[in-house]
Structure 1
Amino acid sequence: MRKILVLSLLLLTYLFSQEPSKEVLLLHSYHKGYKWSDDISKAIENNFKPHSNINLTTIYMDTKKVSNEKYFKKLYKQQFKNRKFDVIIASDNSALEFLVEYQKTLFPNTAILFCGINYFDEKLIEKNGMRKYISGVIEQVDLKKNFELISKVHPKLDKLIIINDRSKTGLIMKDDLQKIIPEYEEKFEIEYIDDMQMKELKQHVSKTSDNTALLFVLLFKDKTGKFFTYKESLEHIKSFSHVPIYGLWDFYLNYGVIGGLLTSAQAQGDAVSKMALEVLNGKKVDEIPILKESPNRYIFDFNELKKFDIKIDKYIDEFNIVNRPFSFYRKYKLLVNITIATMIVFIVLIILMKANINRRKKLQRDLSNRLEFDKVLLDTIPNAIYYKNVDGKFMGCNLAFANLMGLSKQSVVGKTAFDFFPHEIAIKNTKIDEKLLKTLKTDTSEMALHLSNQEIKYFILNKAVYKNIDGRIGGIVCIMDDITERVQQKQFLIQQSKLAEMGDMVAAIAHQWNEPLVELSAQIQDIQTSYLLNELKDCQVEEFVNDSMVQIKYMSRTLSDFRNFLKPSTKKVIFPIKKALDEINEIIGKQVFYSNINMKFNYLDDEELVVYGYENEFKQVLLNLINNAKTKIIENSLKENSKGNIIINISKSKDYNKIEIIDDGGKIDEKIISSIFEPYFTTKKDGTGIGLYMAKVIVEDKMQGKIKVKNIGNSVVFTIKVPYKKD
């Protein structure tokens, strides 16, 4: 019982391991023994041979003798009534035409692949809705290239005799020949023969001159209707011809033709069988395109070439030769050439290896020296330098960076930006690095670094992507430029610029305090008089105290504004433009008024506009520009005794908020207008030349805005554009 079970399991395993059987029908238009059909069968059988599950059934219609389609329909209906095929291969026109007509009746829904089809017309396979079931390989004789070949090989040719018959294929060939012949009639005489008996043809061809060639097309029937096999007709012609014979099909080789650009039955069978394997593997036939370029080849018979002393390689680069005598070198040419080449290569390699080893030793020595030099060079550079890989991990640094971080160079390796910089700065730098790795560009950014000793240093980070020797991205290198001194110097200049404004500020405060001091003096005198006259009442004392506190608070606010103005801003903030202008107006508004100047603020947008930047420094810029305008107007009014105007327009644009300061104190000389923002440039007798320069530094360098000036008529317009949101 156990043995039976084991045998059953083995049998089941064997059965399930076998591939499902595939049935293929090969339907030939012609008879068995016709070399064209036999070569197609041979190529198909060779390609199917490795596939043991394919059952090939071959049928010959023999339409050169029998052409009754109704007979074939009855025959195949009876013959294949109990069989179903996975694919049908139609060889030549008659078989394909029959299947197009009767596929739905005899082989419904079966895929059809054709080969050897002459003068293919798409309309043929569209008949009866058959297009979706059919694909294949077209057979196409290239007459033009064969004519070109004959004219090249025989430049002194006097006459070309074309031999054909009047079969269906022969008549089609005749039509094509009549299109080609006129192009060559001026080079040599062309005689076309298709209406002679074989006996007459022998006599005619035997009398041809030596400068004659034959083009053998077809000859299955002569004028009398006598039938010849392809081999018999050519052997007859060969027996009485003393001139070279060219052909159009490869099955005429070995029987007397030299060769030519031949239509190959084996190539047709090879191509169509590969298509059949695709269909059998599950591919739909309508997904396989028709091979419209016939796989023709230049093929020649060695014996015929030798007989007529033709060196075919003088005229054609790629060709095949049959019947060539055995030659070891020719048969194993590739192997011999590879062997010789290998020996030469080994000899050359042996000669070069020693020199290469010596060169490598020298290069290794030079490379070691260069690496040591680069290491010293990096450590000598005062700028902090580091480089990291694409994952953001530090791969190395120079001594300046290690000292900055208070670490050794070895301990830096493997760390990330989050180990050295504050979290916010590290995130910003990581985003910059990610962008650089995508764009492969460079980047420059600023960073304020708080060191462990409570010191603040300012750096410009210059970053670029570097690549490895194989072209892949290696990572990012960064050079840190210490700008602490420059930043501090700019801040000092800003404060110096503020101090330069202090004279005007003190004068403005004097104007601001003048009225409240007079008011306080009058109230004190009034209280004193009431006291001396014993008329002082409690309500008067209370009123005096209240009025005095109003004046004192006003004076205190003026001092507070002045103190805030002097205090440097250390951090960018978002602040309202109106607040900044109101505080400036509190400081110098009355002084401007008492200078006979009308200062007007125009807010051109309904919403309250803001600025992103350094608030006190920005107020310094506004104060400087208004003071300059005031001074110019005062100088101009002394000459002309007129009232001046300062108009300040505040509006919003796409990416900036805009402030225009317009004064009518007279235009700036066009010769100097482009220089007024330069450091230490001034037209004032006691001026420092840093006010407008620092205004440009504050607006453009520190706040990433724009400041410019222009003349409009007799007025000067300063335009400031500043961002209203964070970078």
Structure 2
Amino acid sequence: MVNRRGTNNSIWCACALVIVFALLFPHVAGARQGAKVLLINSYHHGFKWSDDVVSGVRSVLDRGDDLRIEYMDARRVSTPEYLDNLRKSFRIKFRGHRYDVIIVSDDPALDLMLDLGEDLFPSTPVVFCGINDFSDVRLRGKRSYTGVVEDIDIKDTLEVAHALHPRARKVIAPVNSNATGASNRHLLEGAIPAFNGIFEFEIVEDPELEPFLRRLKSLRKDEYVILLTGRFRSSAGEMVPIETSTPEIAKVGIPLYSMWEYYLGHGITGGMLTNGFYQGKTAGQMALRIANGEKDIPVVRKSPNQYAFDFRQLESFGIKEDELPAGSVVVNKPVSFYVRHADAVHAAIGVVLFCLGIIVFLSIIVVKKNRAERELRRYQDNLEVLVEERTEGLNFANASLTAEIQERERAEAALRESEEKYRALIEKANEGVVIVQDETLVFANPRMHELAGVPAGTLEGRPFVDFIWPDDRDMVMGKYRRRIAGENIPDAYDFRLIGPEGAFIWVFLSATTILWRGRPATLNLLTDISDRKVAEGEREKLIAELQEALSQVKTLSGLLPICATCKRIRNDEGNWEQMEAYIRDRSEAKFSHGICPECAARLYGAQSGKK
């Protein structure tokens, strides 16, 4: 018995040592032969994008891998003469050299390899990264080429700029006339139609920095956004480093956005940024897969982009972090000692906890071992009873589970039926049904698309105010904001909606507040009342015509000067007229003549009574 205990303890100790050794020295297991890698970088050392690509590649290579880096400096010098001499230099420098895989960063390096690769490095696999406006046509006939595309995301960057600066209506986009600039301009022009009615765009080609700054200072800062898609020239015609130009433009106070991470920290607010590090890291991982023998690796067409923002710029424009898209990276945030040294703190805590864990683990093993021996003897005496009880419990649990599953299936069927009825009711409703959240349409049924005269599925995500007749926007949006704020306002009213072909239609709106995905919104029913409004207009016109006709009817009123003796009336010219003539000329009355009994008796005496 003593020997068996000693053997068990030895086994546990050996297992613990193996685990510790694997955690502390993971590189010992699964070691491979080092790969010989050539990295051709299109630009120069010290340029942040280039340095980030190199860092990304190095982050995935092992110590045994042999990495050689060659810079082309094509960002600072890109004349045909220079590039031709560069090709000649490469032919001399690399003739006879062999590599397991070649990584090329950005378009100039890829073009160089497409031109010289078969001659200098026959059959050598090539992995590219940082390639703009990629097309499979460029790799036609090149089976050993693969890589990761640099896909700048202009649309997402403009959308986040609009969300964070809703008052801005104009975008100024500087571009360059070189090959990269032409590609960027093509992508920008492709994104512009998506922002019709939201932004006006002004593309400035090869701008000179100083005149550009003077012009910006004369603009209203809250109406503009600057999208940095190109670099600026100095008065001497030389390219100004982004580390110089970007902070100068940021001082003007107009928000700056871009699609490249190397602008971050120099004055841009942020954007959906393509990152040189992740481009290089992805290319490095693909190169290692090739070095390990993997073949036919497809091109990664989704660029590893990420929302990133500068805390200092967000603070200057009063933008809070919770207004940013989910998963956004924020740089230049004030950090505590713990955050700055989080890895070291975590490592220290981990070591301490690991040691404590080993001590506790061994102590628990000893205690549990002794307890287990006692329990084992007790369980052996009651094993059959426990088996019977467990079997009975399992049978009961199985029956309960079966009943619960059946009940859940009935509930899910009822829920599906309810959802189908609700969906049919909304889709077939004769009223437009919309949900408005943050002044934006987040749901609209088919009838609402008919009222607005737009294709199905195109309303969601657009501002509600865009579909309100301009004269009614202040009234409608004011009531919306007051309702969202919790004020007690009428639930129904009329207003004009922009309908098909830009004409307005009258609608009757009935609204109430709801929670949509956990946040306040309004549910609105819109009924077309244009025919009713036309009928009301015709009724008002008829009333006006009747009132006009009534005003033409002749009437007599006021004080009439009449002779007490002859009963003649003095007219407006001062002449005296017979009463019958005066009344006849000024009204619709007519006269017939006779004699009353009193006058007959006075004039004719007794003869007045004879027949």
**Could you tell me the TM-score, scaled by structure 1's length?**
0.42
For the pair shown, the structure with the greater C-alpha radius of gyration is 1
**Could you tell me the TM-score, scaled by structure 2's length?**
0.49
- More relative contact order, 1 or 2 (CA 8 Å, 6+ apart): 2
